[in-house]
Amino acid sequence: MKSLTLRAGLALLCASTLAACGGGSGSLVLQATINSLTKDGLILTSGPDSVTVAANTTVVQFPTLVGSEDTYDIEIKQQPTHATCTLVNNKQKANVYTVVQPVVNCVTDSYILGGNVSGLTGIGLVIANGNDQVSVAPASPSGASVFFKFPTKVADGAPFGVTILAQPQGQTCVASNNTGTMPSGDALGLIVTCH
């Protein structure tokens, strides 16, 4: 009986000693999965670590190991340029399962794609950027330049390619300056000329 009490007491002592030591000498690698990061500049922190994450990275491992049952806390110190990231499962008690659960989801900023149609007198013009479409009606007075923009914004760095999906009645339109890579701002230089 006495021996049992002694052993229990010893175990308790051991446990509390280990818990006290829990801070620095961990054994678990903490990592975060990065989704859709297309831009540089992201800096993540965890405890003493500060890690710069380059564009197109998919996994980040933090250099300092964490101890089992320690609470880890991953935060964003700096957002990427022209993108915004959010954290999921970034603050949890560490164990072999939870140290691989943090996720960073990034969304690249997107901007307006548009331009001007000149010489348009007929109805029915439809301009496409792949599966995104915009219908353009003649201006008043007929033939004056008409501004158009696509309903869906385009992500910074994504390609665009604009074509005439449907010609207006009695006219033929041609798109020029119509393909390229989206800048970090609106691209409103598309030119559609109708005759």
Partner 1 sequence: MKFTFVRALAALALGLALSACGGKATYDVSGTISGLTNDGMILTNNGGDDISIPAGATTFSFPHRASYGDNYDIEFKTLADGVTLAYPNHMTCVIGYNKGSAGHTININAQIVCSQATHNLGGTVIGMAGCPAVADTAPYCLTLVNGSTGGQISIAKPADGSNNTAFTFSSQVKDGDSYGVTVLGQPANMTCTVANGSGVMHTTDVGNVIVTCVPN
Positions in the binding site for partner 1 (CB under 8 A): 113, 126, 128-133, 152, 154-155, 158-165, 178-182
Q: What pairs with residue 82 in β-bridges?
A: none
Cα–Cα dist 195/20, whole Å: 81
Query: What SS3 class is residue 118?
Result: strand
Question: Contact at 8 Å (CB) between 186 and 152?
Answer: no
Question: Contact at 8 Å (CB) between 34 and 100?
Answer: no
The residue among 110, 102, 109, 111 whose CA lies nearest residue 35 is 102
Nearer to partner 1, 53 or 82 (CB): 82
Nearer to partner 1, 60 or 106 (CB): 106
Pairing verdict, β 59-61 and 42-46: unpaired
Nearer to partner 1, 49 or 132 (CB): 132
Shortest Cβ 6–partner 1 spacing (Å)? 44
Shortest Cβ 136–partner 1 spacing (Å)? 15
Nearer to partner 1, 67 or 114 (CB): 114
Region of residue 47 (left: phi > 0; alpha: psi -120 to 50; beta: else): left
67: Cβ contacts below 8 Å, ≥ 6 apart: 21, 22, 23, 24, 25, 26, 27, 28, 94
Shortest Cβ 132–partner 1 spacing (Å)? 6
Query: What SS3 class is residue 135?
Result: strand
Nearer to partner 1, 182 or 194 (CB): 182
Shortest Cβ 172–partner 1 spacing (Å)? 13
Shortest Cβ 190–partner 1 spacing (Å)? 11
